[in-house]
Amino acid sequence: MSKILHTNALDDLCELIIDCPHSTPKWTDNGYIVIRNQNIVDGILDLSSPSYTDFEGYKDRIKRVIPQKNDIVITREAPMGRVCLIPNKLVCCLGQRQVLLRANPNKIYFEYLYWALRSPFVQQQILINEGTGATVSNMRIPVLKALKIPRLETIEQENKIANKLSNIQNKIQLNTQINQTLEQIAQAIFKSWFVDFEPTRAKATALAAGKTQAEAELSAMQVISGKTAEELTTLAQTNPQQYTQLTEIAKAFPSELVETEMGEIPLGWEVKQIDEVIQKIPVGKKYSSKTALNKGSVPILDQGKSGIIGYHNNDAGVKASIDNPIIVFANHTCYMRLISYDFSAIQNIFAFKGKELNIYWTYLATLGKQEFNEYKGHFPDFLIKEIIIPPSNLTHYFGNFIKANFSKIFTNNSENVYLAEIRDLLLPKLLNGEI
């Protein structure tokens, strides 16, 4: 039996409901964080790509309220109804099309209010214009204040429910943070090998100092592994397979740098346009938000950062797996992702892999090469960007070296999908008092 005894209007449960300034912030390269709608992803404030304003802009945007820990931000449009919590010690201000909510602790637990706002019960109210039954594209402040928030028997019961849901959310967030760290590690190794050419420089420096080729390769092994010569000697005894792998990688690097139009690069490496070294993969039938289902067997990739616009139950346009991932490029937004599952796509999603080049190397070599300029097609500009190409075998050595990082990322992503499904299944049942 449902334990919902009543609902309260949102306005009755909040100390503050403050609309954002109706102006565009002055954007800067650093300074004070401005929360934008695109930073609110699946209920989490994602500041991996932050936006900033200067001190004057910040002061102007906090005249009505200074955001503080446990405040809730809800979006009014583009899209409506996304929510997130302000974390501890974050100095920030609101962007546009957002409202700040501060729960009254004597009436409702802030975390329960956050989850109630994410519930289908409240989200349906947000999507439907009260009094007309029509779907709307923005939410007026009077409609927001009148939202009916479901209540349970006691605040203590609401607290327990909120804590259960937040435990799931925290695990999803932890997996996401681990994934970011794992990819950053892979990027750092890529930079060392293929941007700064540290193994090649180590060999060249050793030979210039009169050392033997074997000693030069040992220097490269130290750079590649991050170990001292003594630690490598121990590794040769304790893990000869790993030692042999490091030896082969070190030998694959040249011992000399040469001048090119892109500056110094290792001897024998080439400079080519991206289009020359990738293999484009047809994505099959194109889908849209109108043809996408809320649930289905095959995800449909879109151009947003969240990645998926919906699902279908036909054959997948592209086959991919953890052992055979595929790179996708969003034509208008320039987002790039490494996909490890079967998928289809909307218009302007391009899929590719390397021609005889390792997929992880190809992904990191092309990642970020095309910056977003405006909402237009960027793929042709991306294809003519030049990159430095090492021998194919070295890209595969690199792929094997960092494969575990991406395998863990893919596993965490799969776990997050499962956890999100469980969370979304539990959310209405918990708030209805069914569980």
CATH of the domain at 354: 3.90.220.20
Assigned domain for 229 exists: yes
256 within domain boundaries: yes
Same domain, 126 and 213: no
Query: Which residues, in sequence order, are CB contacts of 141 under 8 Å at separation 6+?
Result: 17, 19, 99
Q: Where is the domain boundary, 153, 179, 205?
A: 153
pLDDT tens string 51-67:
999 999 999 999 999 99
Reference 414, options 355, 339, 309, 345; nearest CA is 339
| pLDDT, tens digit, 9 for 90 and up, residues 191-213 | 999 999 999 999 999 999 999 99
| Whether 148 and 10 share a structural domain | yes
C-alpha torsion 345→346→347→352, nearest 10:
-20
- pLDDT of residue 2 exceeding 50, the answer is no
With contact defined as beta carbons under 8 Å apart, do 32 and 52 qualify?
yes
Judge whether 146 lies within some domain. yes
pLDDT tier for residue 286 given thresholds of 50, 70 and 90: very high
Residues 138, 116 share a domain: yes
**How do residues 337-392 score in pLDDT, each as one tens digit?**
999 999 999 999 999 999 999 999 999 999 999 888 777 789 999 999 999 999 99
Residue 300 has pLDDT above 90, yes or no: yes
* 261 and 300 share one domain: no
Per-residue pLDDT of 102-158, as tens digits, reads 999 999 999 999 999 999 999 999 988 644 555 567 899 999 999 999 999 899 999
Q: What tokens does 152 get?
A: 């349970």
Are 202 and 300 members of one domain? no
- In angstroms, the CA 258 to CA 253 distance is 13
339 within a domain of the structure (yes/no): yes
Residue at 160 is within a domain: no
Looking at residue 374, its pLDDT comes to 73
- With beta carbons less than 8 A apart as the criterion, state whether 113 and 39 touch: no
Nearest to 363, CA basis, from 391, 403, 333: 403
168 is a domain residue:
no
Q: Are residues 385 and 293 part of one domain?
A: yes
- Residues 120 and 229 reside in one and the same domain: no
State yes or no: pLDDT of 408 exceeds 80: yes
Condensed to tens digits (0 to 9), the pLDDT of residues 307-317 reads: 888 999 999 99
Asked if residue 433 has pLDDT above 80, the reply is no
Dig out the tokens for 396 from the structure.
């595969």
Rounded average pLDDT over 155-173:
94
Q: What is the pLDDT of residues 218-237, one digit of tens each?
A: 999 999 999 999 999 999 99
Q: What is the tally of structural domains in the chain?
A: 3
Share of the chain above pLDDT 70, in %: 96
Q: Is the Cβ–Cβ distance between 16 and 102 less than 8 Å?
A: yes
Residue 248 has pLDDT above 90, yes or no: yes
Q: What is the C-alpha separation between 399 and 404, in angstroms, rounded?
A: 9
Whether 80 and 136 share a structural domain: yes
Average pLDDT, the chain: 93
- Spatial CA neighbour of 141 closest among 66, 95, 74: 74
Q: Domain for residue 358, yes or no?
A: yes
Q: What local confidence, expressed as pLDDT, does residue 411 receive?
A: 96
In this structure, is residue 366 part of a structural domain?
Answer: yes
Q: Are 263 and 282 in the same domain? A: no
- Supply the DSSP symbol for 81: S
81 and 20 part of one domain:
yes
The domain in which residue 79 lies consists of: 6-153
The larger pLDDT score, comparing residue 261 to residue 380, is at 380
- Whole-Å CA distances, 382 to 110, 200, 275, 353, 369: 45, 28, 8, 14, 7
Residues 10 and 132 in one domain: yes
Read off the pLDDT of residues 28-45 as tens digits, 9 standing for 90 and up: 999 999 999 989 988 999
Q: What is the DSSP track for 4-43? A: --EEEEHHHHEEEEEEPPSS---EESSSEEEE-GGGEETT
Q: Clarify whether residues 104 and 133 are in a common domain.
A: yes
Per-residue pLDDT, 1: 39
Per-residue pLDDT at 250 exceeds 50: yes
